[in-house]
Amino acid sequence: MAVARPKHLTLILAREFASSLATPMLIADERGVLVFYNDAVAEIVGRPFAETGEILLDGWMATFEPRALEPDPTGDERRPTQIAFQDRRAAHRRFRVISIDGVERQVALTAFPLFAHADEFVGIVAIFWRE
Amino acid sequence: MRVTIWGCRGSVPTPGPRTVRYGGNTSCVEVALDDGSVLVLDAGTGIRGLGDELTKRGTRHIRLLLTHLHLDHLEGLRFFAPLWDDDVTLEVWGPPSPTQSLRDRVGRCFSPPLFPVDLGHVPARVSFHDVPRTEWRLDGALLRADLVVHPGPTVGFRIETADASLGYLPDHEPALAGAIAGRSTDWLSGAAVAANVDLLLHDSQYFEHEYVERIGWGHSSVVDAVTYARAVDARQLILFHHEPYHGDESLEELEESARTLGADAAAPPVLAREGMVVDLA
């Protein structure tokens, strides 16, 4: 039995943290693959993670047609998850999204990178704040 | 591959009449490879006896693999005879820290008020290396070191040769990251180190009733150790890192418990014991 792509310990601990939170939280790995979201995210998106499975985060986010509630003052139209992944810095923005059940919801999204060491990027965490 | 246990006690050395059968020295395991080279796992007080043995054998090149730097895994190094021999080359491998080099962290043990001789003044040629993030080779073995659940930077080691494999997770609390049974192995702490090994040395410090009062201390109950060995398909589990308050009789109760829990295992779990030798082929 070989372990296919074992998760970094940081992600394992982040998942356990997310599992014990009522705050919606998702985790993507260093490749930008969504590897976990908790039940509170499932409530927002209308589907448990077990049904979604591991999938590229960017494409998955796009399916919810996120529309920013206000323009970014710097003109950066990327989603916080994209900024956290590409620029490896924290970002925050408010959106309207349409979940799988067709319900439109207003959420704020905070995303930040995870570094196991200064030069070892292992993924990102994103937290949704229901508004 | 020949695996010899020189120390398997957890936390603090425990000499005395209550611990004569399984020993009181803290973690140290010798791994002798078929090509004659020697890997040493951890530098608890068990390394003192190993050092005398390596001196007798005339071993001049030694690789020491440190899982972490808690004292029970490091305190024997100052009394490791090869360190005081200027003909010896000692390579020390250990977990990286975000803030300090391995040498600086180990060096704290070799400084006042803990010790009179600075690490820079020991006679042996000593070098320090952070464990790589990917597998690497030392002599005839393929090694892997992954961070595992335990307070502070801590790794487990996998040592693999053409015909044998060993997993060494002496300080490990995988249950802190969620239930072990039923979890996909890619989400299981240390699973890539332990998967399918011929021999797994794994933390089993506590009985279940003790563990519930010590959650987060970084160690496993015997139930979790057996469940973990089953989850990673280890062929043989050796129960390691004995609780200092467990005398020989108490440890044998723990072993009995493990054997009951692991009744479906190919080989029944056994207690680590000082002087135990396991040949893997």
Residue with tokens 């089993």: B204
Q: Say if the Cβ atoms of A3 and B187 lie within 8 Å.
A: no
Number of separate domains in chain A? 1
Number of separate domains in chain B? 1
Q: Say if the Cβ atoms of A2 and B98 lie within 8 Å.
A: no
Q: Say if the Cβ atoms of A15 and B187 lie within 8 Å.
A: yes
Residue A10 falls inside a structural domain: no
Structure confidence at residue A45 (pLDDT): 87
Structure confidence at residue A1 (pLDDT): 57
Spatial separation of the C-alpha atoms in residues B151 and B133, rounded to whole Å: 19
Contact pairs from chain A to chain B, CB under 8 Å = 48
Residue A72 falls inside a structural domain: yes
Q: Say if the Cβ atoms of A3 and B192 lie within 8 Å.
A: yes
B110, B119 in Cβ contact below 8 A? yes
Structure tokens at A35: 């590897």
B67, B41 in Cβ contact below 8 A? yes
CB-CB neighbours of B105 under 10 Å: 20
What region does B42 belong to: left with phi over 0, alpha with psi -120 to 50, or beta? left
Backbone angles phi, psi at A3, to 5 degrees: -95, 115
Spatial separation of the C-alpha atoms in residues B110 and B77, rounded to whole Å: 10
Spatial separation of the C-alpha atoms in residues B219 and B213, rounded to whole Å: 12
CB-CB neighbours of A71 under 10 Å: 9
CB-CB neighbours of A104 under 10 Å: 11
Spatial separation of the C-alpha atoms in residues B131 and B146, rounded to whole Å: 9
Give the domain CATH number at A38: 3.30.450.20
pLDDT in tens, chain A (131 residues): 567 789 999 999 999 999 999 999 999 999 999 999 999 999 888 899 999 999 999 999 998 888 888 887 788 889 999 999 999 999 999 999 888 888 888 999 999 999 999 899 999 999 999 87
Domain range spanning residue B14?
2-279
Q: In chain B, which residues have their Cβ closer than 8 Å to the Cβ of A12?
A: 149, 177, 187-189
Q: In Å, how far is B1's CA from the nearest CA of chain A?
A: 21
Give the domain CATH number at B146: 3.60.15.10
Structure confidence at residue B13 (pLDDT): 98
Residue A31 falls inside a structural domain: yes
Strands (E), B107-176: 125-130, 136-138, 141-147, 155-160, 165-169
Structure tokens at A42: 């499932």
Distances (CA, A) of A113 to A29, B38, B172: 10, 40, 26
Residues of chain B with pLDDT under 70: none
Residue A1 falls inside a structural domain: no
Of A1, A10, A19, the CB nearest to B233: A1
Domain range spanning residue A94?
24-130
Residue A121 falls inside a structural domain: yes
Between helix B248-261 and helix B222-231 the angle, nearest 10°, is: 40
